[in-house]
């Protein structure tokens, strides 16, 4: 049996459920994913942990702290990049502020957190929990914009490869990597690099907004290794076993 379950929430927001934990990454709220949606996903018998890779509004909403005062449910803990404005209510009982290129052990259990730098803001996360190794890229992406100069494009490429080159050395079970359709032909650059250099078992694209159709068109599965499981979400709040 798979030791984890993935629910794609929306954009870069995902839920990974392991034996004892519910790990929420980069959750924010809009019409496509509401606080009620999130509340309905939280179960009583697992520890919820919210990870925030950085403070951009498509990765973070301060309302995630509202879940800290749940009745009859274990209080969630929070792992948040230091670039996020620290407006934290008193009700939050455990919060870990993280910077790039560090390793942390969470107080409440055996969860290990390794952070990497980003090519935008904040951090990328590599988490080891309940025997599962999970990578969430945040905005660490190969930002190859058509409108950029050649110099800027190669700088972006170098920066991305320098950081992702470190990430791919780690054993990874499950990875979330950006495929941003706004980059057009370059949308899959980050994913392709990651897939080629990493031994990750399962890969899920993120950071494509509501562009589910474009996402499907952009991804060429024939270029990926046979033993890599690629999960392509087709709608918001989609659960994969
Ligand atoms: Zn972003």
Written as six digits, the tokens of 55 are: 């403070």
Identity of the highest mean pLDDT range in 16-30, 37-51, 214-228:
16-30
CA of 71 to the centre of ligand 1 (A): 32
Report how far apart the first and last C-alpha atoms of the chain are (Å, whole number). 9
Higher-pLDDT residue of 13 and 145 is 13
Per-residue pLDDT band for 91 (boundaries 50, 70, 90) equals low
What does the chain come to in residues?
241
> Whose CA is closest to 59, among 9, 117, 129, 132?
9
CA of 58 to the centre of ligand 1 (A): 6
User: Is a pLDDT exceeding 80 seen at residue 71?
Assistant: no
The 3-state DSSP composition of the chain as helix, strand, coil percent (nearest 5) reads: 25, 30, 45
Predicted confidence at residue 34, as pLDDT, reads 94
Per-residue pLDDT band for 197 (boundaries 50, 70, 90) equals very high
Higher-pLDDT residue of 157 and 107 is 157
Please tell me what DSSP assigns to residue 33: B
Count of structural domains, the chain: 1
User: Any idea which of 10-19, 44-53, 170-179 has the lowest mean pLDDT?
Assistant: 44-53
Domain that holds residue 136: 5-240
Distances, alpha carbon 73 to alpha carbons 46, 67, 69, 95, in Å: 9, 9, 9, 17
Predicted confidence at residue 90, as pLDDT, reads 65
The mean pLDDT of 187-211, rounded to a whole number, is: 94
Sign of the CA dihedral 237, 213, 32, 51? positive
CA of 1 to the centre of ligand 1 (A): 33
CA of 77 to the centre of ligand 1 (A): 22
Predicted confidence at residue 92, as pLDDT, reads 67
User: Is a pLDDT exceeding 70 seen at residue 103?
Assistant: yes
Q: Which residue intervals of 10-57 are DSSP H helices?
A: 35-41
CA of 72 to the centre of ligand 1 (A): 33
Per-residue pLDDT band for 109 (boundaries 50, 70, 90) equals low
Predicted confidence at residue 1, as pLDDT, reads 61
Q: How far apart are CA 141 and CA 32, in angstroms?
A: 24
Per-residue pLDDT band for 226 (boundaries 50, 70, 90) equals confident
Instruction: Output the pTM of the full model.
Output: 0.93
Q: For residue 221, give the CATH number of its domain.
A: 3.60.15.10
CA of 9 to the centre of ligand 1 (A): 15
CA of 123 to the centre of ligand 1 (A): 12
CA of 137 to the centre of ligand 1 (A): 10
Predicted confidence at residue 110, as pLDDT, reads 79
> Whose CA is closest to 233, among 220, 42, 225, 210?
210
User: Is a pLDDT exceeding 70 seen at residue 89?
Assistant: no
Predicted confidence at residue 9, as pLDDT, reads 97
CA of 55 to the centre of ligand 1 (A): 9
The mean pLDDT of 102-114, rounded to a whole number, is: 86
CA of 160 to the centre of ligand 1 (A): 15
CA of 73 to the centre of ligand 1 (A): 30
Average confidence score pLDDT of the chain: 90
The mean pLDDT of 159-169, rounded to a whole number, is: 97
CA of 131 to the centre of ligand 1 (A): 28
Predicted confidence at residue 232, as pLDDT, reads 93
Percent of the chain with pLDDT over 90: 70
CA of 120 to the centre of ligand 1 (A): 8
User: Is a pLDDT exceeding 70 seen at residue 72?
Assistant: no
User: Is a pLDDT exceeding 80 seen at residue 44?
Assistant: yes
């Amino acid at each position: 049996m798979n030791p984890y379950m993935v629910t794609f929430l929306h954009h870069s927001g995902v839920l990974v459920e392991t034996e004892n934990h519910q790990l929420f990454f980069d959750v924010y709220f809009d019409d496509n994913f509401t606080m009620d949606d999130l509340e309905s996903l939280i179960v009583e018998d697992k520890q919820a942990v919210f990870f925030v890779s950085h403070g951009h509004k498509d990765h973070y909403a301060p309302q995630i702290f509202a879940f800290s005062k749940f009745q009859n449910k274990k209080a969630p803990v929070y792992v948040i990049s230091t670039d996020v404005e620290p407006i934290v209510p008193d009700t939050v009982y455990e919060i870990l502020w993280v910077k790039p290129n560090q390793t942390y052990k969470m107080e409440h259990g055996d969860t290990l957190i390794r952070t990497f730098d980003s090519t935008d803001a904040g951090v990328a996360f590599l988490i080891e929990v309940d025997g599962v190794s999970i990578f969430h890229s945040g905005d660490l992406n190969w930002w190859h914009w058509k409108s950029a100069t050649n110099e800027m494009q190669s700088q972006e490429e170098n920066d991305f490869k320098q950081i992702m080159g470190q990430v791919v050395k780690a054993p990874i079970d499950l990875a979330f990597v950006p495929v941003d359709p706004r980059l057009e032909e370059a949308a899959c650059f980050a994913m392709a690099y990651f897939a080629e250099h990493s031994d990750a078992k399962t890969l899920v694209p993120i950071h494509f907004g509501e562009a589910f159709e474009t996402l499907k068109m952009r991804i060429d599965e024939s270029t990926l290794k046979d033993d890599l499981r690629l999960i392509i979400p087709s709608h918001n709040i989609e659960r994969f076993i």
